[in-house]
């Protein structure tokens, strides 16, 4: 299969088809769908990150090390998330994305509740696996769904709004989690009808997991939009693409479809690692309580993460309007370079106020490229493989970003520094290595991305 090319004109940016405005979904309904998806993403990050705030109590009750706990944060969740995301994405490119997302929300919410019902490390590990499998059904279908609901010029903003779930959900995981832990920590053991005696960290899992079941019902009630922007055969019919053809398409453009996910995954090592261990760093180094660490880190993440996501999306739109066709790529690359310095310095500062002060620009910059990261490949990828391409990006992000991010910091602390209080140095080393590495890999994507934009402009329907 060959695609018609086009000359590299500076205005050759994918335009919405004339019929796009005649979709049966009105603007208010598109925004409602985006709101439901945002709620789903918020709860996915609450359920994903709540464990990071309860490191101390879980370690004490289960008798495990930092590294063993990092397996719950990283490998138990991310490995099975990454394995399942590819077949789920394949389904999403062929079947109802709404149904896939709704079932995924229900599964991960039930598994989060299950984390509060188990009694040992093995059971908790299995429940975290279930959370990962359920959350694998969210992002690939969502990215594909949004690309059919929103015009290409507005897609980065829609992606950024969806990506606010990372900042809002991550922040609320620490804020709400810390509050719940403080509320249920007296007495040390709770007696709940039908459940018997449970620990405060178990009650926290149950409380934060239940609301997701309502979001699942909301998701199952939305409409599935018509699919747009697919590859067509000589007769003008949208083609179905077997796995072999998808693979060949991606490998023909590997400098984009492999290097871009790899670059963002390297940044994810730092980002996921910081989310997993920064609250514990505040607790161990500066003597904060779980509630204090959760409140401060959650508030910082909520405020500066949300601001970074919003202003990053606005900057991407400005670059787009001014003719910088590779603006999404450049934004991510520059953010990676800029966040290296506060990422290194923050954990090494001598007081909690200074460490939190340095955390503000780190979170802002880390969040600024969420919209661009989600929109960049959607803008250049045929509809028949958008969810699958998102799955490739998520696969790299989780196998490299989440697993290495959580476990590398724990491994440095346990096996290199051999000191729980050396967590600050582990955080600094990860920032120093992985942020510059991610920027270098992303730089190699600039030229292939412009070429992909030309291809997308030639086939836009």
Question: What is the homologous superfamily of the domain 22-225+243-459 according to CATH?
Answer: MFS general substrate transporter like domains (1.20.1250.20)
SS (HEC) of the chain = CCCCCCCCCCCCCCCCCHHHHHCCCCHHHHHHHHHHHHHHHHHHHHHHHHHHHHHHHHHHHHCCCHHHHHHHHCHHHHHHHHHHHHHHHHHHCCCCHHHHHHHHHHHHHHHHHHHCCCCCHHHHHHHHHHHHHHHCCCHHHHHHHHHHHCCHHHHHHHHHHHHHHHHHHHHHHHHHHHHHHHHHCCCCCEEECCCEEECHHHHHHHHHHCCHHHHHHHHHCCCCCCCCCCCECCCCCECCCCHHHHHHHHHHCHHHHCHHHHHHHHHHHHHHHHHHHHHHHHHHHHCCCHHHHHHHHHHHHHHHHHHHHHHHHHHHHHHHHCCCCCHHHHHHHHHHHHCHHHHHHHHHCCCHHHHHHHHHHHHHHHHHCHHHHHHHHHCCCCHHHHHHHHHHHHHHHHHHHHHHHHHHHHHHHHHHCCCHHHHHHHHHHHHHHHHHHHHHHHHCCHHHHHHHHHHHHHHCC
**Is it the case that residue 51 has pLDDT exceeding 80?**
yes
Give the model's pLDDT for residue 188.
Answer: 65
Give the model's pLDDT for residue 296.
Answer: 94
pLDDT tens readout for residues 263-274: 999 999 999 899
Cα-to-chain-centroid distance, residue 8: 32
Give the model's pLDDT for residue 18.
Answer: 46
Q: Among 7-16, 107-116, 256-265, 349-358, where is mean pLDDT lowest?
A: 7-16
Distance between CA 204 and CA 255 in Å, rounded?
44
Could you tell me the pLDDT band of residue 413, with boundaries at 50, 70 and 90? Answer: very high
Give the model's pLDDT for residue 231.
Answer: 52
Q: Span 244-249, mean pLDDT? A: 86
Q: Span 382-398, mean pLDDT? A: 82
Q: Span 148-171, mean pLDDT? A: 83
Q: What is the mean pLDDT of the chain?
A: 85
Give the model's pLDDT for residue 178.
Answer: 80
Give the model's pLDDT for residue 386.
Answer: 80
Give the model's pLDDT for residue 3.
Answer: 41
| Of residues 379 and 216, more confidently modeled | 216
Q: Span 438-461, mean pLDDT? A: 86
Could you tell me the pLDDT band of residue 2, with boundaries at 50, 70 and 90? Answer: very low
Q: Span 108-133, mean pLDDT? A: 94
Distance from the first to the final alpha carbon of the chain: 18
pLDDT tens readout for residues 302-337: 999 999 988 998 888 888 788 888 888 889 999 999
Q: Contact 402/310 with Cβ under 8 angstroms?
A: no
Q: Span 23-35, mean pLDDT? A: 79
Could you tell me the pLDDT band of residue 180, with boundaries at 50, 70 and 90? Answer: confident
**Is it the case that residue 236 has pLDDT exceeding 60?**
no
| Of residues 41 and 201, more confidently modeled | 41
Give the model's pLDDT for residue 409.
Answer: 93
Percentage of the residues of the chain whose pLDDT score is greater than 90: 41
Q: Whole-prediction pTM value?
A: 0.76
Who contacts 88 (Cβ-Cβ below 8 Å, separation ≥6)?
100, 104, 136, 137, 140, 141, 391
Give the model's pLDDT for residue 428.
Answer: 97
């Amino acid at each position: 299969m060959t695609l018609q090319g086009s000359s590299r004109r500076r205005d050759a940016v994918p335009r919405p088809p004339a019929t796009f405005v005649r979709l049966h979904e009105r603007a208010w309904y598109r925004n409602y769908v985006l709101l439901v998806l945002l709620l789903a993403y918020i709860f996915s990050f609450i359920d994903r990150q709540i464990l990071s705030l309860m490191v101390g109590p879980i370690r004490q009750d289960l008798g495990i090390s930092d590294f063993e706990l990092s397996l719950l944060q990283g490998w138990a969740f991310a490995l099975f998330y990454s394995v399942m995301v590819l077949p789920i994405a394949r389904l999403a490119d062929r079947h109802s994305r709404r149904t896939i997302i709704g079932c995924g929300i229900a599964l991960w919410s039930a598994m989060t509740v299950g984390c509060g019902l188990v009694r040992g490390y093995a059971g908790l590990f299995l429940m975290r696996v279930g959370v990962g499998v359920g959350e694998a059904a969210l992002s690939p279908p969502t990215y594909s769904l949004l690309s059919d609901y929103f015009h290409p010029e507005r897609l980065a903003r829609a992606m950024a709004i969806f990506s606010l779930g990372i900042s809002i959900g991550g922040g609320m995981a620490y804020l709400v989690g810390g509050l719940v832990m403080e509320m249920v920590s007296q007495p040390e053991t709770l007696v709940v009808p039908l459940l018997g005696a449970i620990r405060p960290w178990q009650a926290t899992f149950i409380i934060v997991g239940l609301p997701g079941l309502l979001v699942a019902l909301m998701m199952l009630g939305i409409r599935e939009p018509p699919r747009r922007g697919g590859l067509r055969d000589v007769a003008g019919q949208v083609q179905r693409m077997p796995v072999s053809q998808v693979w060949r398409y991606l490998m023909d453009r590997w400098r984009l479809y492999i290097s871009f996910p790899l670059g963002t995954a390297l940044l994810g090592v730092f980002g996921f690692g910081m989310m997993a261990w920064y609250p514990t760093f505040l607790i161990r180094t500066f003597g904060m309580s779980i509630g204090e660490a959760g409140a401060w880190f959650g508030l910082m993440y909520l405020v500066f993460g949300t601001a970074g996501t919003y202003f990053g999306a606005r900057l991407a739109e400005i670059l787009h309007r001014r003719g910088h066709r590779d603006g999404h790529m450049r934004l991510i690359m520059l953010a990676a370079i800029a966040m290296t310095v506060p990422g290194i310095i923050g954990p090494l500062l001598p007081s909690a106020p200074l460490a939190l002060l340095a955390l503000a620009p780190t979170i802002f910059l880390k969040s600024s490229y969420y919209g661009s990261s989600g929109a960049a490949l959607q803008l250049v990828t045929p509809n028949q493989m958008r969810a699958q391409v998102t799955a490739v990006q998520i696969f790299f992000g989780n196998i490299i970003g989440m697993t290495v991010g959580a476990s590398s910091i724990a491994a440095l602390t346990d096996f290199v520094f051999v000191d729980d209080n050396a967590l600050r140095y582990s955080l600094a080393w990860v920032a120093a290595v992985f942020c510059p590495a991610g920027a270098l890999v992303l730089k190699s994507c600039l030229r292939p991305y412009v070429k992909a934009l030309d291809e997308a402009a030639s086939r836009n329907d």
